[in-house]
Each structure stands twice: as C-alpha cells, then as structure tokens.
Amino acid sequence: MQNPQKQKKSMFRTDLRPALVACAVIGLVLIGLLAILTGLERFDLVRGEEVPYYALTFLGLYVFSTGILLAAYLVRYRKISAANDAADLMSTEVSDLFRYVVDLPYAIISAEGTVKIVSGSLQEILQYRSPICNVPLSSFCTVSIRDIVDYAQNGGPVKDITVNSDGVPIDNTKPMITEIEGRRYNLECYILRSRGTDYYFVIFRDVTEILALQKKKYEEDPVVAYIVIDSLQELAQYVRVSYRTAVSEIETILKEWAAGFGGMLREYEREKYVLVFSRQALDECIANKFRILEMVRNVKLGDNSYPVTISMGVGAVEGSFEDKERAASDALDIALQKGGDQVAVNDGETITPYGGRVNTMAGSTTITSRINSMHLCELMREAGNVLIMGHRAPDYDSIGSCVGLARLAICARGGDTSRIRIVVNRDHVNFRNCYDVLAHLPEYRSMFISGDTGLDAVRSDTLLIMSDVSNVYNTEAPKLLKVVENVVIIDHHRRPDQMYDFKPLMTYIRPGVAAASELVSEMLELSPYRDAVLKEEASLMLAGLMLDTKNFTQGAEMQTFSAVRYLYERGANTNMIRSFFSESLSTLFTASDIDSRTRTYRDKIALTWLSVDHPATEEDNIAVAKAADKLMTIAGIEASFALLHADNTVTISARSGDKINVQLIMQRLGGGGHFDQAGTRLTHTSLESASTQLKTVIDDYLDHEYGK
C-alpha cells in the first residue's frame, strides 16, 4: 500500500512533464527556424537587419505559447491538488472512523512482531490506555508473526498438505485463530507500506459464535453403527448354558451402554443391532477405546473360560443416513474380516480398528462357503478372462490356493483353460517345486504367467482374484489392481487397515481359518465340481495346509481336518510333496546361528535375529520364520519375534500363543496377519533401529493392552 503523499508528488511530476516537453519542442522548432533564416542571409535571400526582428518575434511566440500551455497545466494541477487534499481529508476521517467508530478490531504490526497501533475496539478488548502501544504481538496473540507475514504475502494461509502411509491427504495448515479474553478471533493479514518499511495490517474477526455453532453441529452430527455378537451360537455348542440367557445379558449391557450417552439401540435381526448416536458420544468411546468391548468380554459362558465378544462397524461420515449406513456396513465387514472382537470406525478416508484382544473362535460356516462358492463360479462364468494372483514371495499355501481356484474356474467355464491364468513369480524356488508336480498336466503348461504378461492380458471384463492376500501392496503384481475393475479377495489373514481404491465384487476373508488352501478346499467341496479336483491339485493344497498349520500343530480346527479329509479323498499324496519340507545343510547352519542370538525381553518375549551382508534368500526368510515358531516352544514365552536384516530392509516374523495379539503389534509397524502369526517389513532401516521400534511398540502393547 503506497503512501498518499508519495502518490500526490508522483502525480504532479507525471502531469507537468508533458508541458515541459511541449515547451522544449516549441523552443527547438523556433530556434531551428531562426537558424534557417540566418542561413538564408548568406545567400542574400533575407536581409541581415531583419534577422533580429525575426528573433524577437520568435521569442514572443515562444513566451506566449508556453505561457498559455503552462497556465493550462497549472489550472489542472490545482484541481488535482484540491482533489488530493479532499481525498487525504476523507482518508483521515475514514481512518478515524475505523479506529474509533466502526467496531472492527485491527492492529498494525511491524515485521519484527511489535504492535505499533491498535484500533479503538481492539484497545477496549485488550484494555490498553493508548492506541499506540509498542508491545510484543505474543503478549496477547498466539499466532506467530511468521504466519502473519506468510498470510499477507500469499493472500491467505499457506497450505501444508502431506500424505499418510495409505496415500490419504492430511491438511496440516496452521489455523489463524487466537483467543483473547475468552473470545476467539480469526486473523486476516495485509501488507501496509509506510516510508519504505513494511508493516502488517491485521484484522481480528470475532468467530466465537461461529466456532461454537460448528462445534455443536459436529458434536450433534448423527453416527450410525452396526453391532453383531461374535460366535455365540458356536460357543453354545461347547458349553452347557442357556443361549437366550446369554443373549439377554449381552443385550442388557448394550442397551445400558447406549442409554449412557443418549444413543438409540434397536435389534434388527437375531443378535444384530443398529445404533444411532452422536459424534460427541463417538469421541468419548474412542477416548476410552470402546470400553463396551471389555464389558461384553466379561460375560463368560460355561465354567467362565469362554468370553463372549462383539464386533461393531461405525459410519462416521458426512452426508445422508444412507451414506452413514453404507459406511457402517463396510466397517463392520472389516471388523469381522479382521477376526471380530473389535470396532472399526469409518470416517470416509480411513478405517481405524479398536480392540481385537481375543483370538476369536472360528465357527462352522458351511453355508457361507457354499454361497461364496456359487457366487464366485457365476463371476468366473461371466468374466471375459480370469486372472488369479497370490502374494509376492509365494509360499505353498499361496500357490496351492491359486491352483485350487484355477480348477474351480476351469469347471465353471466348461473346461476352457485358454482364458484362465495364474500370476506368479516363476523364478521362485517354491513355484519351481510346485510346477514339477503339475508340469505333466496339459492345462497347466501355459497357466502361469508373470505380472508384466498379466498386464497385457487385462480386458474390460477381466476378473482378478486375490488369494491368500488382502493387502494390495503385498500382491505379486500391485499394478494389476490399478487397471482391473472386477476384483475378488479370498484370504485367511486379517484385513489391513487400508481403504481400497476399488470396490471388490466379492470379499471372502475368514481370519479364523488356518490357511487359504482350506478356504478354497471347502469352496470346491461345496461346489458342483467337488469330484473334478485332480490329485496333483489336492496335493498342493494339502502342502499349503501343512505349511500354515506347522503340520497341523498350530491353528488347526475341526474344519481344517474336514478339508484334509476331502483332499485325501481327491487323491492328495504326502509322498508327492515330501520334498517341499526338506531342509538343506546351509538352512540348518542358518537356524543354528539364529538360535545362538536368542534373547528374552520383559520376561515373556523372545527375540532373535539374522544379519546378512547380501540380499536375503528364500532360505533366509524361511529360516527366520521357523525360528519364530521354534521360540514359542520355550517355557514362559508368550510371543516371539525373529528379525532378518538384508539389503537395508528388516523383515520381522511374529508368533504368539493365546494371550498376546501379535497382529496388533505388527500393525503398528505397518504390517499385519493373524492374532497368533503376523509380520512386517521395514525398509531403509538398520537392524538396531528396527529392534528399537519393535521394542517400543511391544512396550506400548504390554503397558496398555496386555491382559485387559
């Protein structure tokens, strides 16, 4: 903003300059004419005694013309000066009006943060005796002078947008709000230049009532939640207890809990409830980490050894009740897919889990498997082509489940194998072992393709099936998920806390199941094509089951052995896959090296590690995973963690019993898995740094969640 006095002087110079130029031009013209006449005198064309008269005439003309010109400009200048004086007077009056009459608090602040002048209204607010104060801005304002300068120079608050690990934008822009005498003010800042120095004109707008209304609207915004009771029917099969009594007790707890914060709870289906409550109540529940989970968990069945659990999906999004209901339904699906006994809150950008402390029982889901099998077959028939993909660094469960799904697709499509492909790393040692079993079968000679070839095979009606993986970034070819619209997810791991960029056509995730091969075996058995499975395919799925259950010693339930029985009926042969589980001499040496590094942490945790100076081999990864399993056989150990450091990356394999949820621990490091088996991968880090991070999250879990 320019000084008015400087503007007036500049205007005067600008107005007078054309007149001076015109005078100079007239003078030059007359002098030129006089020179011409003098030259003509030499040729006797003009008499010499006449030249002085011409000179006097030209001088008279010059004085007359320049006088008239200057007089005209002088009149104009006086008019402009009068207008400027009137404008200055009005500016002074307006300034006094703003300072003393108009209720607009403002301050003029130097670049160093010193308040020079305040308006009358701000003077009253601050209770200053004089409008000229020369006090530090920080004495009454929490907004820094740096933020004020940035605001004034950019015409608004400088946006600071970052992206979290899930790719969700986060607005870190600092609010230009301060509190004075119990009132809240929003600052608007402008540059004011006086005598070559920059000052900042800051308006303090009272937004107390507006913010109060916004807060009230936020707190009273309705939230929709779905609640289901986990595995109560299955628990009732194993304990002698009144089923309806248990349901009535849980329902009473839920109603009293909802009434405590004014929520409305209604049962819309057997053991399923819908809850409508306020956002303020939701924030209270988040603050106490949904204490209702613990309240329900205290309900025991039988000899007080079987806890009852609930799962809840909360839709805390803006929009209509239909939008909130849809968000709550999606969140409930994730809570159930992650094992139950937890709350998933969907705010429209991320889905945040709370709870998950109990390793929930896996119930009988024959009907669910049959329905999913029928639905998947229909999707396979309608698709132009089918791509099946497991996780990177494929193990026998990933490959075996993909092969089982390929058999289901072959049957569903009437035996046509030309448009069915499995995307896998064909150079991986596990794949080579499996392919040796399938190589003589004609349908598998061109079945397996790389991720790049899979991209070339994508069509508008392609169906992509993810097997043994639900984390997008852990798939064999994540790029496929960016170009394929129709996606199916089949997995036995807890779903990661990530929002998909796509809406799956079908999601079948059962964390209580031992292996993905078990899920696929059950779907095949309950399909019309149960007898079409070949012995080689059955053997590979059996290998997947044996791997993920540690030869049926971990996580194997009744339905696991039912799947094994079916696979043996279809000709599964352990002799065919026996070589899969043999160990080389180097692997034994590696295992011995890992065992020698074992340490205990906080009495109940076992830690070990392997550090190599070259990229980790598959044998190293397998050795570390086996080391984590082996540590769980030590008396008194409730959880184990084995670390592999190679190529500036640390891989962590975690195992536990029935007391510590290693999935929650690994989730805090960006990983995931099951209650008793999980893992993560930390890139660009050292073994020491990874160990420190791991101990930090273990401490946090043991101090705040263990045993609660």
Q: What is the DSSP string of 166-212?
A: TS-EEE-PPP-EEEETTEEEEEEEEEEEETTEEEEEEEEEE-HHHHH
Which superfamily does 106-213 belong to? PAS domain (3.30.450.20)
Q: Are 368 and 402 in contact (CB under 8 A)?
A: no
| DSSP single-letter state for residue 349 | S
* Interval 583-588 mean pLDDT: 70
The CA R_g of the chain, rounded to the nearest whole Å, is: 40
Task: Tell me the pLDDT tens digit for each residue of 319-328.
Answer: 899 999 999 9
Q: 11 pLDDT exceeds 50?
A: no
Q: 80 pLDDT exceeds 50?
A: yes
Task: Tell me the pLDDT tens digit for each residue of 326-335.
Answer: 999 888 887 8
| 166-174 own/partner pairs: CB under 8 Å, 24+ apart | 166/350, 166/497, 166/498, 166/499, 168/349, 168/350, 168/499, 174/143, 174/147
User: Is the pLDDT higher at 137 or at 66?
Assistant: 137
Instruction: Among 229-233, 465-469, 533-537, name the one with the lowest average pLDDT.
Output: 229-233
Write b or e for each residue in 438-470: b if 16 or more Cβ atoms lie within 10 A of its Cβ, otherwise e: beeeebbeebbbebeebbeebeeebbbbbbbbb
In whole angstroms, give the CA distance from residue 650 to residue 598.
Answer: 17
**What is the model's pLDDT at position 364?**
41
- The CATH number of domain 221-355 is 3.20.20.150: no
**What is the model's pLDDT at position 431?**
92
Nearest to 306 by CA among 237, 226, 227: 237
Q: 631 pLDDT exceeds 80?
A: yes
Q: 513 pLDDT exceeds 90?
A: no
Measure CA 692 to chain center. 25
**What is the model's pLDDT at position 673?**
75
- Beta strands at 385-389 and 197-206: parallel, antiparallel or unpaired: unpaired
**What is the model's pLDDT at position 44?**
60
Q: 422 pLDDT exceeds 90?
A: yes
For residue 79, what are its two tokens?
């008019």
**What is the model's pLDDT at position 337?**
66
Nearest to 458 by CA among 484, 477, 481, 476: 484
Parse the chain into domains and list their residue ranges.
4-101, 106-213, 221-355, 366-581, 585-704
**What is the model's pLDDT at position 8?**
43
Q: Are 390 and 399 in contact (CB under 8 A)?
A: yes
Q: What mean pLDDT, rounded, does the chain reach? A: 82
Confidence of residue 476 (pLDDT cuts 50, 70, 90): very high
CB-side neighbour CA atoms (13 Å) of 125: 22
Task: Tell me the pLDDT tens digit for each residue of 599-623.
Answer: 999 999 999 998 776 667 777 887 8
Check residue 318 and give left, alpha or beta (phi > 0: left; psi -120 to 50: alpha): beta
Task: Tell me the pLDDT tens digit for each residue of 549-568.
Answer: 888 887 788 788 889 999 99
Residue 489 Cα distances to 55, 169, 470, 515, angstroms: 106, 26, 6, 14
106-213 and 221-355, same CATH topology: no
Instruction: Return the CATH number of the domain spanning residue range 585-704.
Output: 3.10.310.30
Task: Tell me the pLDDT tens digit for each residue of 345-370.
Answer: 998 877 888 876 555 544 445 556 77
Percent of the chain clearing pLDDT 90 (strictly above): 35
**What is the model's pLDDT at position 424?**
95
For residue 368, what are its two tokens?
């669910």
Q: 598 pLDDT exceeds 70?
A: yes
Nearest to 543 by CA among 578, 492, 583: 578
For residue 434, what are its two tokens?
């499996």
Q: Are 645 and 677 in contact (CB under 8 A)?
A: no
Confidence of residue 233 (pLDDT cuts 50, 70, 90): low
Answer positive or negative: Cα dihedral of 472, 478, 479, 484: negative
In whole angstroms, give the CA distance from residue 39 to residue 18.
Answer: 32
Q: Are 542 and 370 in contact (CB under 8 A)?
A: no
- pTM for the predicted model, two decimal places: 0.53
Cβ neighbour number for residue 603 with a 10 Å cutoff: 8
Nearest to 663 by CA among 490, 489, 476, 470: 470
Confidence of residue 705 (pLDDT cuts 50, 70, 90): confident
Which superfamily does 366-581 belong to? inorganic pyrophosphatase (n-terminal core) (3.90.1640.10)
Q: Are 355 and 341 in contact (CB under 8 A)?
A: yes
**What is the model's pLDDT at position 363?**
43
* Interval 537-549 mean pLDDT: 92
Percent of the chain clearing pLDDT 70 (strictly above): 82
Element (H, E) at 506: strand 506-509
**What is the model's pLDDT at position 600?**
93
Task: Tell me the pLDDT tens digit for each residue of 142-154.
Answer: 898 988 998 888 8
In whole angstroms, give the CA distance from residue 351 to residue 333.
Answer: 11
